[in-house]
């Protein structure tokens, strides 16, 4: 674990403490799909990024500092031993003692992870729930594991994912990659874990089975195409032309993701650089897109072209 020589006072207090101790949208034709994880036709939901007192936990490092000087301390589980947080091959939290897995599966519920903030104070982040049966949106995808977590802020319990709706407070894990929300770019980051809340583009990418450990075995370029498609990033520069809850039908070139409603109007074809072609934007006006991106050619029919990862269409 990262050496913490300059933080000894905080760690002493933490050791004493240890010793003492998913904005979504509704789908009318299927009530079961009203929970946000299953909103398979919605565009990006913004503003539900994981944070503690405003400090981002969108991407954490398990053993080194991350963000603006934040880092993870010991994990408390009620077993009277100090553990550290880990992530297993199934993208699920585990509690480690050395290299040995001591906690896994539903046993991690109730465990608390100490998170040191930039001011060197720490906060206990408690895992409060787990759901390891979240269905993939892709025919190729395995079940996805999701969690809820909370922390105390001046005596008030707050959710790690700050959505108002309780079912939007779930998040899932994506190890070893970092995603820039400002640019929709994919960066290899071994030892890190992206925490993706309900509605975030990275969470949707995982549910579509385009994550690094997905059965589809998608490439980083295909993941970047997915992030741009979900967020309506036609230009390929991180500029989003959608809003939360905007309906759009996603279909991948491999035929593993089928939209749950009839496709009506062509929107775009997508690759890692954004929209290959664009006919009818899902939310913005075409001239507004052109003012930012320059001219993007109109799509010639509905067929996929070489290099296209996704086709998006609009409902009636």
Per DSSP, the residues of 43-103 read ----S---EETTEE-SEEESSS-BTTTBEEEEEE-SSSS-BEEEE-TTS-EEEEETTEEEE
How many whole angstroms separate alpha carbon 262 and alpha carbon 122?
A: 50
Average pLDDT rounded to a whole number, residues 212-237:
96
CA 110, chain centre distance (Å): 22
Q: What is the pLDDT of residue 36?
A: 46
Q: What is the pLDDT of residue 166?
A: 74
Q: What is the pLDDT of residue 24?
A: 27
Contact 49, 181 (CB under 8 A): yes
Confidence class for position 167, pLDDT limits 50, 70, 90: confident
pLDDT tens profile 8-48:
323 333 333 333 332 223 233 333 333 345 455 555 545 68
- Rg of the chain over CA atoms, in angstroms? 21
Q: Please provide the average confidence, as pLDDT, over all residues in the chain.
A: 85
Contact 177, 184 (CB under 8 A): no
User: Would you say residue 6 has pLDDT above 80?
Assistant: no
Least confident of 47-51, 206-210, 301-305, 308-312: 47-51
Pairing of strands 310-314, 59-61: unpaired
């Amino acid at each position: 674990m990262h050496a913490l020589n300059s933080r000894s006072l905080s760690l002493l207090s933490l050791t004493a403490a240890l010793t003492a101790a998913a904005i979504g949208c509704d789908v009318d034709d299927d009530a079961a799909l009203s929970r946000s994880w299953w909103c398979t036709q919605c565009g990006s939901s913004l503003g539900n990024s994981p944070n503690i007192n405003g400090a981002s936990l969108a991407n954490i490092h398990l053993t080194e500092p991350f963000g603006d000087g934040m880092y993870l301390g010991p994990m408390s589980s009620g077993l009277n031993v100090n553990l550290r947080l880990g992530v297993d091959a199934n993208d699920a939290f585990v509690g480690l003692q050395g290299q040995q897995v001591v906690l896994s599966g539903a046993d991690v519920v109730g465990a608390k992870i100490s998170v040191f903030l930039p001011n060197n104070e720490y906060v206990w982040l408690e895992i409060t729930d787990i759901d390891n049966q979240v269905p993939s949106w892709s025919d190729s995808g395995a079940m996805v594991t999701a969690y809820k977590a909370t922390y105390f802020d001046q005596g008030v319990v707050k959710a790690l994912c700050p959505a108002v709706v309780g079912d939007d407070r779930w998040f899932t894990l994506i190890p070893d990659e970092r995603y820039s929300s400002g640019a929709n770019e994919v960066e290899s980051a071994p030892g890190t874990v992206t925490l993706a809340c309900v509605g975030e583009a990275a969470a949707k990418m995982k549910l579509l089975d385009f994550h690094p450990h997905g059965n589809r075995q998608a490439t980083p370029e295909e993941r970047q195409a997915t992030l741009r498609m979900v967020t309506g990033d036609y230009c390929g520069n991180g500029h989003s032309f959608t809003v939360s809850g905007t309906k759009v039908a996603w279909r991948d070139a491999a035929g593993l993701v089928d939209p749950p409603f009839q496709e009506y109007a062509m929107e775009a074809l997508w690759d890692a650089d954004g929209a290959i072609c664009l006919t009818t934007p899902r939310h913005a006006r075409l001239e507004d897109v052109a003012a930012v991106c320059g001219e993007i050619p109109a799509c010639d029919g509905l067929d996929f072209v070489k290099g296209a990862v996704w086709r998006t269409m609009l409902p009636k």
